[in-house]
Amino acid sequence: MPTALAPTKHSFATRLAHIGLALAVLTQLGTSQVMEPVEPGSAGNAFFTLHEYAGLAAFAFVLGFWMAATFRRRGTAWGLLLPWFSGARLAALWADSKAHLGSLTRFRIPVYDAQSPLASAVHGLGLLLMTAMAGTGTVYYAINAGNPDAGGLVGLVMFVHTSLANLVWAYLIGHGTLALIHHFTQNLDLREMWSLSRDGTTGGSAN
């Protein structure tokens, strides 16, 4: 399997975008439980204002993530995050998925690999999901007239936004839980991905 980029640490730009995006998404899920959107007869509440501004920040961080993934010199290769356009990548994803399933049916934690085709493909889908959420929210912010239930384009982007909302919960729970399991089984060190030092907590250099 060709890997264009070094398989080791995440670059500073990747870590910065990841921390910002993860914190923004946590804010979005939290506020979505208590907010009252602006609509005819209701001025909305402060949690909705926070949802709007943290959502716009999420949009900036998700764009930053795409930029970091495009221009970084080390980290996960694009072809691993988005394997859907290459037969060789899809074959590797299928083989890795079968290996993971084999481990799980033997009640074993799958072997950790930072360049796993399955994990990377799921990370890529997560990035696409957050892009869709932040993108539809931002379009809503730009064109709405104070009513998320309005028809037309406002209705369409809010339909997509609310339809994908439960997938965001699923991604956060699945990805966060696996990260914690791998941290406590010493497969990775969470402090590396969550570090804002230029070279990462665990040493080495980043671009």
Q: Are 68 and 193 in contact (CB under 8 A)?
A: no
The answer to whether residue 121 forms part of the interface with ligand HEM (CB under 6 A) is no
Contact 79, 4 (CB under 8 A): yes
Which residue has tokens 């909705």?
A: 48
| Phi, psi (rounded to 5 degrees) for 74 | -145, 155
Q: Is 118 in the site for ligand HEM (CB under 6 A)?
A: no
Query: Taking CB under 6 A as the criterion, which residues in 131-170 touch ligand HEM?
Result: 133-134, 137-138, 140-141, 148-149, 158, 161-162, 165, 168
Among 32, 86, 97, 207, indicate the residue that binds ligand HEM (CB under 6 A). 32
Residue matched to tokens 């994803």: 93
Contact residue for ligand HEM among 117, 193, 200, 206 (CB under 6 A): 193
Find the binder of ligand HEM among 123, 154, 195, 206 (CB under 6 A): 123
Give the Cα separation of 74 and 162 in Å (integer).
35
Which one of 20-28, 87-95, 102-110, 199-207 is the stretch in contact with ligand HEM (CB under 6 A)?
20-28
